[in-house]
Amino acid sequence: MPVGAVLLDRLRAALARYVILPSDEAGDAVALWIAATHAQPAWQHATRLVITAPEKRCGKSRLLDIIETTCHDPLITVNISPAALVRSIGEDPPTLLLDEADAVFGKKAADNHEDLRGLLNAGHQRGRPYVRWDAALRQPEHCPTFAMAALAGIGSMPDTIEDRAVMVRMRRRGPGERVQPFRTRRDAPALHELRDTLTAWVRSRLDALTDAEPDMPVEDRAADNWEPLIAVADVAGGSWPERARTACRVLTNAAEEDTTLGVRLLADLREVFGDAEALHGATILEALHKLDESPWADWYGRPFNARDLAKMLKPYGINSIKVKVSGQALQGYRREHLYDAWSRYLRPQQEGSGTPGTPGTSQVSDPAEVPGSGRRTEPEPGTPLLTSAVTEVPQVPDTPCCAGCGHPMDPALSAAGETTHPMCERSAS
């Protein structure tokens, strides 16, 4: 097996020893991100790693501990001023690790940290310096901002940061999920040895990584975020090129499901419109309020109204106009004015995916009008029954289980030759 693949396998197994990650793909992504921090001179984009969880005690800080012990030149903090951040970044930048990021970017504190958010956004791309006035030299000073960064916190991060990030959503350990407690004095030396070996291997491949143009399974900003990770995987070889692209597809799709409210509104409007060419504003609002699991019925303690609708659609270049529906001309919206935003910000709608019951969608009053719905029709005598061949489903390999307690193990531990959970192994000894 190639040396790079062996090192990534060892790193992946180390993560599984101390942290329960939400999926194999998330574990692979974190391992690749750590490896990519050792090749920052090669990258055009400094991928952010955002680690979130719905509650406390989900392993965010522990994962950040392992990242700190294995990444390139970590600068870990629970808060940092914009000036301190800028002064910490040079030609060979550190890896910024920001724990308790929800305290920095939460609703109450976000307005006080706009400069920090701006720097983190700018530092995602090479060549976006922070410019300050040097009073002593009486001239502007251009300070670099480019540096890879990982942020951990409860809940969501600012949209602009998540858009530049690989997202890992942690969860609390379930029954039977066991990990080894991380003790710096005992465990850090072995991880530092792995880090140093990984650094030497990555730096020896720096030219290949700099010139890499990997085939990407995603486009645009997502491709910028994942290119360093997939480039590392391709150079490492073994199973990692395929695993990296699988992780990219899985985690990118999961991130796209958590859309902004603006995109959520566009998607809901597409559902509301159905096949209609135009709808009155009141009709749209009534339908929005009735959508299941939508925020529109309780919008900051009141129903979403016409002014809210106009305000949220304005950035997309969509304005209300007089529309005539059922002989009545009232303020509303036309499909042709929404279509451009739908095509740019939403996934293409599959044929037949329209939602029944939305305005503008033809409704069937008699079930007999639709074959197979409502009224059952018996086949004519002698008509052969339709059958379909049954495809044989391949056997799914059994999940590896701990020899000590019998509960499932992380496949990365099993692949590394482990047969028991770390804690079961310690208990047996």
Q: What does the pLDDT read at residue 330?
A: 94
The better pLDDT of the pair 295, 230 is held by 230
Q: What does the pLDDT read at residue 417?
A: 74
pLDDT tops 80 at residue 387: no
- pLDDT tens per residue, range 252-278: 887 766 667 888 999 999 999 999 999
What does the pLDDT average to over 156-176? 89
Specify the fold of 261-362: Arc Repressor Mutant, subunit A (1.10.10)
- pLDDT tens per residue, range 85-119: 888 898 889 999 999 888 888 665 656 678 889 99
> Is the whole-model pTM more than 0.75?
no
What does the pLDDT average to over 311-316? 91
Q: Which residue has the tokens 């990242």?
A: 67
Separation of alpha carbons 294 and 171, rounded Å: 24
Q: What does the pLDDT read at residue 399?
A: 66
For the chain, give the mean pLDDT. 84
Least confident of 12-16, 58-62, 355-359, 395-399: 355-359
Query: What sign for the dihedral angle of Cα 196, 201, 207, 208?
Result: negative
The better pLDDT of the pair 186, 360 is held by 186
Closest CA to 325 of 270, 288, 280: 280
Least confident of 161-165, 327-331, 418-422: 418-422
Is CATH 1.10.1420 the right assignment for the domain spanning 3-257? no
Domain boundaries defined on the chain = 3-257, 261-362
Strand bridging mode 328-334 / 278-280: antiparallel
